[in-house]
Structure 1
Amino acid sequence: MPDKTHAYGEDPSQFGELYLPTGAAKGVVVVIHGGFWKSAYDLSLGRPLAGSLAADGWVAWNLEYRRVGPAGSGGGGGAPATLDDIAAGIDKLAELDVDTSTVLALGHSAGGHLAAFAASRGRFDRWAARVPLTGVVSQAGVLDLRAAYDDGLGGGAVEAFLGHPPGPDDAPADPMQQVPLDVPVVCIHGTGDDIVPLSQSEQYVAHATAAGASAELVAVDGDHFTLIDAGSAAWTRTLAILNDLR
């Protein structure tokens, strides 16, 4: 369980759980859960990862945010409210007693989308970053909103998140349209993933590297949820990736 819980806004979903290591910390990892941005899923998905990160010497900031659905039950989100929350939640670290010289975002599925967004947010006045990221690890992230929409991922989740089909005006919310990022991005993805296809990470990395960004694809055995199984070989690989990004 977390050491402390901190609110970064007034909505019940605007909070994070802080996990602290024993001894000096390697840095901070912001854990951003997935679930196709839907209110049916919450930060409980990130708790096993946050606990493992703290045991491995990291400060883990397991972040909740407003999702798509009725307000008051985890909803009230979607673009831009969810993006506002991710920005504000990360910036809350500036008020906590943690060293923010190394801050990595770790996001699974839709959380991978939000982690990549968080690395570009400083480009926009609305989300000017007090606590910039130093790297991103996307776990089977939804990194190309247009392709995700065309493929019908999450049963129309992209259109529900944006409020309309994706288009050029949605560039600030679309990681594919924000390359090259100024920080390294590692995309870890299960080869057996039938929920978010491997092509999401493959195409993002190809596009990013062609634009001169530091981006890498790490394909591992397993399905969509292997990546958030803290007892899996994929998670052991993820810990090694995070350590390499320090």
Structure 2
Amino acid sequence: MSAWSPPGRAVRRDAGRDLAEPHLLLEAWDQAATAPAAVRCAVLVQLAGLCPDLESALDLDVGECADLAALVHATTFGREVEGVITCSFCGETLSVEICLPIRKEPVADTANGLRRAAVGEFTVRAPTTRDLLAAAAAPDRARAVLLSRCVQHRDGRPVDPAELTAEQESLLDEAAESITDAALPMLCTRCPACDNEVRAALDVAALLWDRINVAAPRLMTEVAVLARAFGWSEADLLAMPAARRAAYLARVEM
């Protein structure tokens, strides 16, 4: 994957903005569509006003970013989501409907630092989106990049991944996964085929992007149809209340 750098402009922090607002919906689609998949969560959280700027959003650990994305989804499209998971015990495909868990604090704050865990003589922290970007930029060394960025000695000295034993690497991987999973929204359901409990982390960023990637093109189609029929500009049509835009669209289709 090619290197990616955030856009130069920043969006001011406020109490949260509804991405369903037409201008903001199209801006979210524009920016997220051109960002690497790993970055979309941070982009959407920042555009929704839940982080002061994109630089700060990239420095949230991935669990915290997903937590905020759940709030963005709830504000924009509601808390109810549908998904499909595979039972890890019998392979049955399960269709599920859940209500997204929502954090109590609406604005991200990284002042207190990232979650960390002690593993023997090392300290491991949860990876951030920026860490994932660095790893993706060096796919042949991705694991080593993450280890060098997220692990250090207990006394603060950096870790050389080449000096770690296979056992140490395994323990550090498990610790990093554990801290990250602890912050991710989890789905728990029971498989009707084998009666085992199935647990899976929800990819909230993917769910949110899927909804935006449907809603934005649909809005653009409405704008194109009405502009062609009445000669109105995009700005005029996006400023129009949704109910009135739908009423005009119905008359074009009559």
Superposition TM-score, scaled by structure 1 size = 0.25
Higher relative contact order (CA 8 A, sep 6+): 2
Superposition TM-score, scaled by structure 2 size = 0.25
